[in-house]
Amino acid sequence: MMNIKKIMVGTIVASAAMLLIQDSIAVESVSGCGSLNNHFGPFDYTDPRMNDNLRLVEVYHFDGVYEQALLLTNEGRESVLKGLTPRNIVAELDYTLRAFPNHHHALYAMSMFLYYLKQNAYHKYTEIMQKYRTSDCYYQRAVRFKSDDNGVYTSWGVYLYRTGEIEQAIDKLKKSIELQPKNADAYYTLGLIHLKKKDYIKAEQYAKKAYSQNYPLPYLRDKLKELGVWKN
């Protein structure tokens, strides 16, 4: 396995070096959240020209870590992966987000994992926060890096919804839709939010916009049908 990885790195690094010279983006500091400049990148997660760099980062710093972070967050239990302490998880996600500040999945995993630690292991959270950034900082850095990336706002909105910051979640999700009107994830989450607020008319409106784009999860539609407010 290590030989395969070394071969892969050898083939990727040459093109990555050229992309570093040609496509690395000059970026400003985000107030209170540090400079976006990085020894590798920063690169745009949505730019297909960055795919070689993205794969290199994900192979070594994201794959497996992402699943572990969300497994702990959603189910409160560890996977079979060994050696991934909370600090390891945060460190690897932080590396990913320094190389790709607008990495949608890393943003969500980092923010939810930090929230999980804050709620369930506050001493560990405060220890980790001495070195790493807050969830809000990571999202602010992503927006500063690429302000028109609708996926960042969707990720931010879903995170805020999951943590109970409903009005802020609505704001971020609507911004995401402004940038990309065909955003099924944002419409679905707005439907969930309005279902929770018992504003069933809006919940149905957002749900239909999500399902018109073949959104796969049936939960919102099923709940609206149970309430008798879903109209075919």
H or E segment at 80? none
pLDDT at 17 over 80: no
DSSP 81: -
Could you tell me the pLDDT band of residue 85, with boundaries at 50, 70 and 90? Answer: confident
What's the whole-number average pLDDT of the chain? Answer: 85
Q: Are 65 and 172 in contact (CB under 8 A)?
A: no
Could you tell me the pLDDT band of residue 30, with boundaries at 50, 70 and 90? Answer: low
CB-facing half-sphere around the CA of 151: CA atoms within 13 A: 14
**Regarding predicted confidence, which is higher, 67 or 220?**
220
Q: Are 27 and 144 in contact (CB under 8 A)?
A: yes
Which pLDDT does position 7 carry in this prediction?
Answer: 33
16-33: average pLDDT = 46
- Residues 6+ positions from 131 with CB-CB distance below 8 Å: none
H or E segment at 25? none
For 86-123, write each residue's pLDDT tens digit.
888 999 999 999 999 999 999 999 999 999 899 988 99
Q: Which CATH class is domain 165-232?
A: mainly alpha
Percent of the chain with pLDDT over 90: 69
Which pLDDT does position 4 carry in this prediction?
Answer: 38
Which pLDDT does position 86 carry in this prediction?
Answer: 84
Which pLDDT does position 24 carry in this prediction?
Answer: 39
Domain ranges of the chain: 2-147, 165-232
Which pLDDT does position 84 carry in this prediction?
Answer: 72
Query: What 3-state class would DSSP assign to 29?
Result: strand
**Regarding predicted confidence, which is higher, 12 or 210?**
210
Could you tell me the pLDDT band of residue 69, with boundaries at 50, 70 and 90? Answer: confident
Buried b (16+ CB within 10 A) or exposed e, 68-79: bbbebbeeeeee
44-67: average pLDDT = 92
Percent of the chain with pLDDT over 70: 81
Could you tell me the pLDDT band of residue 80, with boundaries at 50, 70 and 90? Answer: very low
**Regarding predicted confidence, which is higher, 172 or 74?**
172
Conformation bin of residue 157: beta by default, left when phi > 0, alpha when psi is -120 to 50:
alpha
Could you tell me the pLDDT band of residue 10, with boundaries at 50, 70 and 90? Answer: very low
- Residues 6+ positions from 39 with CB-CB distance below 8 Å: none
Question: What are the distances in angstroms from CA 38 to CA 25, 150, 161?
Answer: 10, 23, 31
For 143-184, write each residue's pLDDT tens digit.
999 999 999 999 999 999 999 999 999 999 999 999 999 999
Cross-strand partners of 34: 30
* Tally of CB atoms within 10 A around 189: 25
